[in-house]
Every structure is written in C-alpha cells, then in structure tokens.
Amino acid sequence: MTKIIKIEILVEKEFATNLYAEFKINDLIFTEFDRLLNFDEIKENYRKALKKLEGFTTITATLLVYNDGEWKMTSSNIQSSFRYVNRYGDIKMSRWDGYSYPNFLDALGKSILGDIKELVDKGNRTYIELIKNNN
C-alpha cells in the first residue's frame, strides 16, 4: 500500500478579535515515487507567508504519515509536530505529546526554521525507511 509523507505548516496572524489570516504550506511525497521533501522550497514559501502576514501569531508544523486513500486524519497519523505562539512579542514553543501541545516554553523566533528543517529531515528519513521496508 502506498504511504504518504506530508509536511504541513500553518502560519496564522490575528489582526483583531474576529479577523485573522493564514497560509498553509504543504509538501508531500508518495512511497511510489522517488523524490524527497524539498526544504528549500518550504523555506521560501514560509518566508513569503511571514512577509505577507507581517509576522505571525501562531505557527504549527506537522509531519504526517498515512495510507493513500485515508480521508480522515487522526492523531495517530502525526509523527512529529510543534507549535510556536507569538503574543505581544513573547514567543513560546511546545512540541506535540500525542494529545496536545503542553508546556509552552520561551523560544527564539530564529529557531523556527531550524525546527522546520529537522521536521523535513525526519520526513525524508521516514520515506527512506518505508522504501527499505517496502511499506
């Protein structure tokens, strides 16, 4: 069965109580084809989103692995995820624990791209493992 490895980055900006904008950046690969997730393209789209939104309120990046044909994503499809929250210039970050994003800790905005790169690398390693195991 074909597996899909997907990186999804959601960049959100809240402008007022009931007014917000978001960009969703995706890259996905199938175990039937021979290409890897492209960090350079993801990075370029991420920077464009930040520029257009003039910053962010929330950034959530997720690595999903699921079977081709699955329509509903569940928490069991999430391999890794993190969330950055920017409230009044105070940036905090938390990692997915299987159920939620607990324990937000102080973080630097410049570490976001490094975390995204780690997620892409993990996705590419997962792809190679799936190919080796013929899954």
- The mean predicted confidence, pLDDT, of the chain is 92
For 30-48, what is each residue's pLDDT tens digit? 988 888 999 999 999 999 9
Residue 134: pLDDT band (50, 70, 90) is confident
pLDDT above 80 for 131: yes
Percentage of the chain with pLDDT > 70? Answer: 99
Q: Where are the beta strands (DSSP E) in the chain?
A: 3-16, 19-30, 58-67, 78-87, 90-95, 105-106
d(CA 132, CA 125) in angstroms, rounded, equals: 11
